[in-house]
Chain A
Amino acid sequence: MLLAASALLLGIPAAATAYASSATTGTGWIRLAHLSPNTPAVDVYLYSFDNSTAMIVLHHVAYGTVSPYESVPAGDYSVAMRAAGASAASQPVLSTSVTIAAGHAYTVAGMGPESGLRLQVLDDQLTTPSGQALVRVIQASLKQQVVNVSLGSTTLASGLKFATVSSYQAVSPGTKTVTVSASGTTATSSVTLAAGTVHTLVVLDGASGLEVISLEDASGSGQPPLGGVSTGFGGTAAHGPGSPVPWLVAIGAGGLLALTGGLRLRRGRQLSAGI
């Protein structure tokens, strides 16, 4: 109950994080990845729901490859994988559908062993807690099926199984050491995480032992400026009519002056008439 309530509470701001740039233009982002260690290179196709001509084709995508994000109109898509070099008209080895919401980002990755290969759709986060970085781990090592991953002294994932993904974790920014340990083997690498960035660490089977790659998924201003920006002095702005008060005061003063003059003139005439 409490959990459901907090999920609901969390869900509201999450739904409101669609970006003006993409929300108003109705676009989201997608990237494609091959993370199945014993599957040969593939061609990856992205189709818009109502179009049989591929929108994006990535050729000869080998294990460990993650494409850059592509900005696409929000809507329903399908992702298909074919053996590298296979005809675009041939039956795909694998396909899945993905709904892209405006202002949201997704990773569609071929994961698992070749015998159980599947396309997994990951919902990628685009907001970070103020002044912090977000990190998650994709476990794509078949040789070491269970790994522990830490960042400095922070545990990012423990007992993370092959072909699974950890949840995001907020960490303080800085350059840190990633340590991946499995039974009898350890791999380390250094990553720099700036405030306001989102990262995905991918654990791979390397030529000799484990390998870790760090992907910067998204980045913004680590310290967002407060409020709007003061970028104008009004020299080209429309101005309303100025206050009429100074003019009215001047008219009044003129009236007093004229009145004084007139009265003196009259008195002068009376005096001369009297003589």
Chain B
Amino acid sequence: MPTRRPAAAFTLAAGLVVIAGATAGLLLTRHPTPAMRPVAAGVAALPAPTGPIVAPPQSSAPKPAAAPVLLTIPLIGLRTSLITLGLTSSGALQVPSSTAVAGWYTGSPRPGAIGSSIIVGHIDSISGPGVFFRLDELTRGDKIYVKRADGTLVEFRVTSVQSYLKDDFPTEDVYGPVPDAELRLITCGGAFDAATGHYLSNIVVYATETS
């Protein structure tokens, strides 16, 4: 049966090729993919935005602040429009459907009014950096600007940057009342759990209106 010999030789060769390919694949995928890190030097800092900066609120004559529309953090080259966010049916904070914009929680005070105003944004999408990718580079004293619907600008100064496990999120610290005009920027951070598709921690940037 001479016709069977080429078929058998082909099967043997195919088997050996598969073994070689799969072995190469196995060896090449044995190292982890490192986290993508921002290249700080490569991104030029944005100029600080311009606009009338209104005086801090006086307790005796609280001025209604207009809704926030634009967030700028020149140091990390961030400039994003702000959408509005509410709560999900389970009571969690909604997040922007786009990873490229940040959003203001309408249940929190408006930036520049007395209290802790909440703005959230994504650290990344499934494929690359999101709007708040470089948030954890901020340190005490860095400036944050929020432009409001009436054209006024509020300037904040970072007071602290914290990382919290989501399972141990300090709700009262982040959302509770404060007696001056403050801002909280929230994104994800820490370890990524590939099984659930979620980061295990939240990064919170605390800032206070400059007076």
Contacts and interface: CB of A to CB of B under 8 A. Distances in A.
Interface of A: 17, 19-25, 27, 29, 31, 64-71, 105, 124, 126-128, 196-198, 213, 215-242, 244, 247-248, 250-251, 253-262, 264-265, 268, 271-272
A225 B16 CA distance: 58
Nearest to A23: B173
B74 interface: no
B77 interface: no
A227 B175 CA distance: 11
Interface string B1-34: 1101101111111111111111101100111111
A272 B179 CA distance: 97
Contacts of B99: 233
Contacts of A254: 14-22
Contacts of B2: 268, 272
Contact of B178 (A67, A218, A224): A218
19 contacts: A21-B182, A24-B160, A31-B59, A66-B60, A126-B178, A127-B176, A213-B60, A215-B59, A221-B109, A225-B87, A225-B171, A228-B166, A229-B188, A230-B188, A232-B123, A237-B124, A238-B34, A254-B14, A268-B4
B202 A229 contact: yes
Contact of A232 (B7, B32, B198): B198
B47 interface: no
Given A219-B177, A259-B15, 11 more contacts: A68-B211, A219-B113, A225-B93, A229-B120, A230-B198, A231-B130, A231-B188, A254-B22, A258-B16, A264-B4, A264-B8
Contacts, number: 301
Contacts of A197: 115, 177
B114 interface: yes
A66 B105 CA distance: 30
A216 B107 contact: no
Contacts of A27: 159
A234 B199 contact: yes
Interface string B163-202: 0111101111111111110101011110110100111011
A23 to B, nearest CB: 8
Contacts of B132: 231
A21 B206 contact: yes
A235 B22 CA distance: 26
Interface residue tally of chain B, by bracket?
35 or more
A126 B179 contact: yes
Nearest to B173: A20
B145 interface: no
Contacts of B12: 257-258, 260-262, 265
Contact of A20 (B20, B114, B167, B174): B174
Contacts of A237: 35-36, 124, 191-192, 199
A242 B115 CA distance: 46
A262 B12 CA distance: 6
A255 B19 CA distance: 6
A29 B56 CA distance: 15
B179 A217 contact: yes
Contact of B109 (A71, A215, A220, A239): A220
Contacts of B182: 21
B127 interface: yes
A251 B87 CA distance: 50
Interface string B105-130: 10111000111101011111111111
Given A127-B177, A218-B115, A228 B202 contact: yes
A215 B60 contact: yes
A226 B32 contact: no
A197 to B, nearest CB: 6
Given A251-B26, A268-B4, A220 B116 contact: yes
Contacts of A213: 60
A221 B160 contact: no
Contacts of A17: 172, 176
Given A21-B206, A31-B59, A271-B1, A234 B197 contact: yes
